[in-house]
Amino acid sequence: MLVRQLFDLQTFTFTYIVAADFGKDAIIIDPVESKVDQYLKLLKELDLTLKYVFDTHVHADHITAAGKLRELTGCVTLLGQETGAACVSQTVSDDEKLIIDGVEFTVLRTPGHTQDSYCLYTPGMVFTGDTLFIRGTGRTDFQAGNPVDQYNSIINKLFTLPEETIVYPGHDYNGCISSTIWEEKRFNPRLAGKTVEEFKNIMDNLNLPNPKLMDVAVPANLKCGLI
Ligand SMILES: [Fe+2]
């Protein structure tokens, strides 16, 4: 299994290129529009054919590269079925399977950060988008976010995955790159030992400023990043 984790310094976004091996088909998770050249170069170097782009949700902090990558490679773009982005090639729903060169990925519906938030699981690793971060979680105060849904998505879905599963988040603001379900169950300060009421209280009082690009990114991403 080949996993490449890429980082956008402007928005602290992780993008993942995943494939069964060199020379096979690939999926890109949460690509950033300004990094398209980097992705294309790496795909070429690793002899990968881009089959899918999966956005874990409609992002508010960066513009997706989904539309551009589809134009340039003919790949299929994916978003959860609750999305408002009519431009997407194909929508996915909870528990749907994607098979790429024999590797099975399971789509997990995990609303809370947004109502169209999804994670992608394959045995050994889960790509958690903005649902679960390392020792944190995605915010729930816009785009129809809901802390109770977020809590249920994490506790009743992500935390039921095998504990050794590697957590690859959509962002990190503290210099971490991966974690495991085992660690987050025990050490995530918003979740470990917390009731849903306690979690909601934390999330309702974060008082975060809106992302700098929000007014640009959301409308652009509803058009698959093609503006
Ligand atoms: Fe987000």
Q: How far is the CA of 164 from the centre of ligand 1 (A)?
A: 25
Q: How far is the CA of 58 from the centre of ligand 1 (A)?
A: 7
Q: How far is the CA of 61 from the centre of ligand 1 (A)?
A: 7
Q: How far is the CA of 56 from the centre of ligand 1 (A)?
A: 8
pLDDT reported for residue 105:
98
104 contact partners, CB below 8 Å, separation of at least 6: 97, 98, 122, 123
Q: How far is the CA of 129 from the centre of ligand 1 (A)?
A: 7
Instruction: Find where tokens 């909601």 sit.
Output: 200
* Cα–Cα distance, 95 to 73 (Å, whole number): 27
pLDDT reported for residue 143:
86
Q: How far is the CA of 54 from the centre of ligand 1 (A)?
A: 14
Q: How far is the CA of 115 from the centre of ligand 1 (A)?
A: 11
pLDDT reported for residue 97:
98
Q: How far is the CA of 141 from the centre of ligand 1 (A)?
A: 11
Q: Which residues of the chain have pLDDT under 50?
A: none
Q: How far is the CA of 130 from the centre of ligand 1 (A)?
A: 5
Looking at residue 53, its amino acid is V
pLDDT reported for residue 227:
78
Q: What pairing do the DSSP bridges indicate for beta strands 166-169 and 125-129? A: parallel
CA distances from 81 to 8, 89, 93, 125, 148 (A): 27, 11, 6, 23, 20
Q: Are 132 and 145 in contact (CB under 8 A)?
A: no
Burial class (CB in 10 A: 0-12, 13-18, 19+), 191: buried
pLDDT reported for residue 187:
98
pLDDT reported for residue 127:
99
